[in-house]
């Protein structure tokens, strides 16, 4: 590994320009990989896929590829870090996640260098709160700001720490990463982060080929954690309307995602007529199983109250599944003209949109074709290039 200049007389801008543009050094970056440690949903998939794209070191455009030495950090008392992409340096510590987060969020201690035993140029948190560091440039990721308006929808740690700390941490960060233009505008407006310190790194489309035919007996599919922000209650109410309409006879509804601690009422409703036997809650599924679920889906439904991006929408469009999404967060931005956009407060409107996708073949085919075009605009490689440029800016601003 090349030696990095830590001489205080060495101007950081000149040093980084040499590292990135002339190949004299590599910028040493640490990314908190813990969200991808176990079941990868949402943030975990975002981190995992961007790390893989960074490690691949190839772009799909003509720009030069900045040089990065990448370290992924994990800590857990019982779960160990699995294989990582070639060229990525893994650091795995047996420290309980909650204990470390509590110390970081409450005391700003210990610095990551003490835990890892190495120094870095950039330290990147996949969440809105900073990782303590002795000297590295600090980057945070803000996927959405739902926790500010509705902390009751979030898990315990997010409710405890994020609303009070996110604004200060975002302003103190050297750079902020967001997954959509919607979140970018939200962070700039609500947290007061200047636009030149925010970079959009979209989720990318998976490397899947479109399915060959429409599934005549396809199911209605929801993908995501069974959490309040996902508006599962409205989805079940809409499906109940379809079931109770004797002229509709909808296909089964499949919920693919882990139940959260707040999912008890929905799980009870699923086991109660008229939903009993018609709704399948299958929990977390791996990537291969998820692809199979998309292959057999008649429509993807994502009626969330808020989404910083909405990766299932891009996954569905890539395969050729039409989508019905809410008009909140980044979902209209991601879906574009490839599906139906509804008010998440109106179960009857959601039911009508699902029914149209199931019955109107001409409209459905048009949505599928537009979905292919829309999904092609999202690339992990392009996002990796944007992320490397953001590291450069963070380092220059530190």
Arithmetic mean of pLDDT, 11-25: 42
Same domain, 258 and 340: yes
Q: For 320-369, write each residue's pLDDT tens digit.
A: 999 999 999 999 999 999 999 999 999 999 999 999 999 999 999 999 99
The domain tally of the chain equals 2
Same domain, 184 and 255: no
| pLDDT score of 60 more than 80 | no
Q: For 183-194, write each residue's pLDDT tens digit.
A: 999 999 999 999
Q: How far apart are CA 74 and CA 79, in angstroms?
A: 9
Same domain, 230 and 340: yes
Out of 169-173, 214-218, 314-318, 334-338, which region has the weakest mean confidence (pLDDT)?
214-218
- Name the band, by pLDDT with cuts 50, 70 and 90, for residue 24: very low
Evaluate whether residue 322 is within a structural domain.
yes
Same domain, 240 and 174: no
Same domain, 185 and 246: no
Evaluate whether residue 33 is within a structural domain.
yes
Same domain, 85 and 168: yes
Same domain, 335 and 383: no
Q: For 274-325, write each residue's pLDDT tens digit.
A: 999 999 999 999 999 999 999 999 999 999 999 999 999 999 999 999 999 9
pLDDT, residue 11, reads: 37
Same domain, 241 and 303: yes
**164, two tokens:** 């009070």
Evaluate whether residue 255 is within a structural domain.
yes
Arithmetic mean of pLDDT, 229-257: 95
Alpha helices in the chain (DSSP H): 12-21, 43-56, 97-107, 112-116, 146-149, 156-172, 181-191, 232-244, 264-270, 287-295, 311-319, 331-335, 347-359, 361-375, 380-397
Same domain, 258 and 386: no
Q: How far apart are CA 279 and CA 255, in angstroms?
A: 7
Evaluate whether residue 2 is within a structural domain.
no
| pLDDT score of 56 more than 90 | no
Evaluate whether residue 211 is within a structural domain.
no
Out of 6-20, 33-47, 238-252, which region has the weakest mean confidence (pLDDT)?
6-20
Same domain, 273 and 390: no
Evaluate whether residue 357 is within a structural domain.
yes
| pLDDT score of 21 more than 50 | no
What range defines the domain where residue 176 resides? Answer: 12-204+379-397
Evaluate whether residue 3 is within a structural domain.
no
Evaluate whether residue 34 is within a structural domain.
yes
Q: What is the average pLDDT value for the chain, to the nearest integer?
A: 90
- Name the band, by pLDDT with cuts 50, 70 and 90, for residue 38: confident
Same domain, 244 and 198: no
Predicted TM-score (pTM) of the model is 0.90
Q: What is the CATH classification number for the domain harbouring 157?
A: 3.40.50.2000
Q: How many CB atoms lie within 10 A of CB 124?
A: 28
- Name the band, by pLDDT with cuts 50, 70 and 90, for residue 12: very low
Q: How many CB atoms lie within 10 A of CB 123?
A: 30
Same domain, 174 and 226: no
pLDDT, residue 156, reads: 87
């Amino acid at each position: 590994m090349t030696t990095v200049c830590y001489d205080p007389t060495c101007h950081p801008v000149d040093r980084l320009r040499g590292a990135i543009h002339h190949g004299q050094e590599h910028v040493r970056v640490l990314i908190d990989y813990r969200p991808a440690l176990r079941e990868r949903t949402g943030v975990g998939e975002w981190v995992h896929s961007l790390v893989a794209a960074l490690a691949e070191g190839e772009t799909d455009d003509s720009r030069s590829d900045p040089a990065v030495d990448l370290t992924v950090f994990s800590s857990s008392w019982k779960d160990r870090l699995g294989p990582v992409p070639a060229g990525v340096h893994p650091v795995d510590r047996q420290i309980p996640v909650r204990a470390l987060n509590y110390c970081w969020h409450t005391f700003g201690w210990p610095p990551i260098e003490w835990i890892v035993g190495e120094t870095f140029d950039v330290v990147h948190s996949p969440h809105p709160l900073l990782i303590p560091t002795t000297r590295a440039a600090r980057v945070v990721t803000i996927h959405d700001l739902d926790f500010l308006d509705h902390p009751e929808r979030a898990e315990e740690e997010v409710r405890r720490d994020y609303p009070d700390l996110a604004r200060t941490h975002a302003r103190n960060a050297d750079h902020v990463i967001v997954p959509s233009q919607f979140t970018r505008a939200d962070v700039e407006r609500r947290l007061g982060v200047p636009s030149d310190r925010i970079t959009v790194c979209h989720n990318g489309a998976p490397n899947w080929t479109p399915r060959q035919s429409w599934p005549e007996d396809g199911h209605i599919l929801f993908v995501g954690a069974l959490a309040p922000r996902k508006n599962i209650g409205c989805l079940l109410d809409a499906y109940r309307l379809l079931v109770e309409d004797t002229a509709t006879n909808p296909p089964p509804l499949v919920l693919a995602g882990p139940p959260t601690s707040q999912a008890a009422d929905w799980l009870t409703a699923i086991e109660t007529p008229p939903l009993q036997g018609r709704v399948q809650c299958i929990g977390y599924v791996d990537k291969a199983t998820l692809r199979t679920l998309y292959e057999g889906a008649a429509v993807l439904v994502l009626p969330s109250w808020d989404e910083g991006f909405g990766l299932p929408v891009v996954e569905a469009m890539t395969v050729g599944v039409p989508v019905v999404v809410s008009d909140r967060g980044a979902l209209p931005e991601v879906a574009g003209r490839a599906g139906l956009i509804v008010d998440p407060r109106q179960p009857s409107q959601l039911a009508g949109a699902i029914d149209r996708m199931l019955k109107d073949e001409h409209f459905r085919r048009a949505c599928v074709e537009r979905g292919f075009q829309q999904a092609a605009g999202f690339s992990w490689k392009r996002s990796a290039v944007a992320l490397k440029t953001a590291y450069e800016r963070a380092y220059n601003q530190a």
